A and B are shown apart, each in its own frame.
Chain A
Amino acid sequence: SQKIEQNSEALNIQEGKTATLTCNYTNYSPAYLQWYRQDPGRGPVFLLLIRENEKEKRKERLKVTFDTTLKQSLFHITASQPADSATYLCALENAGNMLTFGGGTRLMVKP
């Protein structure tokens, strides 16, 4: 069966450090992978999209990598700030235009 796995344990890091979040998937061949941020009680907010033929994508302090051989995406936040504290969701497009989300990883950045 298809699975998207993100580390369900919270990631605690110190302000200024780089946060690295992992998304692994099985039994998918996604053409695209997306990362979203979700704050408590709010809707997901789009951050980055990476296509299967792209190895890396950057936007300001964010970087995403996509390894279709390993079936893994890594999401990096450099120079992290307390305001980056949130849950980060990985989402794969599945069967047309539906997004299948992972369970998310909660990031806590401490001052």
Chain B
Amino acid sequence: EPEVTQTPSHQVTQMGQEVILRCVPISNHLYFYWYRQILGQKVEFLVSFYNNEISEKSEIFDDQFSVERPDGSNFTLKIRSTKLEDSAMYFCASSETTGGTYEQYFGPGTRLTVT
């Protein structure tokens, strides 16, 4: 069964450093998403991406964040200058279409620890 994959599974970085989290969405999916989950808290939407551009973003997704689809398979989330409060689990997801008509398939997550 096709699945979303994410690398690395765990990333430790120092405050102020840049990190890039990588995702490979399911191959025939057109919509891509990033969510985060701070330990013990809700899953929070960050950004959605369709047709090579951002379609929605939350208040969390400020200028420190960016997304890119550098080739036909990868989808990346970059945090330019990490803060302690960026420590969280980051989930990538993909779906065939939007509007809630199709489920979102989530990857296993990348645990980001900022020290």
Contacts and interface: CB of A to CB of B under 8 A. Distances in A.
Q: How large is the interface on A (under 10, 10 to 19, 20 to 34, 35 or more residues)?
A: 20 to 34
A1 B42 CA distance: 17
B106 interface: yes
B56 A98 contact: yes
A106 B15 CA distance: 33
Given A44-B43, A97-B100, A103-B41, 18 more contacts: A31-B99, A34-B100, A41-B89, A43-B93, A43-B107, A46-B105, A49-B102, A89-B43, A94-B45, A96-B56, A96-B98, A97-B50, A97-B99, A98-B56, A99-B33, A99-B35, A99-B100, A101-B43
Contacts of A96: 48, 55-56, 98-99
27 contacts: A31-B100, A32-B100, A34-B100, A36-B106, A38-B43, A41-B111, A42-B108, A42-B109, A43-B4, A43-B93, A43-B107, A43-B109, A46-B103, A46-B105, A49-B101, A93-B99, A95-B56, A96-B48, A96-B55, A97-B56, A98-B45, A98-B56, A99-B43, A99-B45, A99-B104, A100-B45, A103-B42
Interface string B27-61: 00001010100000111110010100001101000
Interface residues of B, number: 31
Interface string A75-111: 0000000000000010101111111111110000000
B71 to A, nearest CB: 23
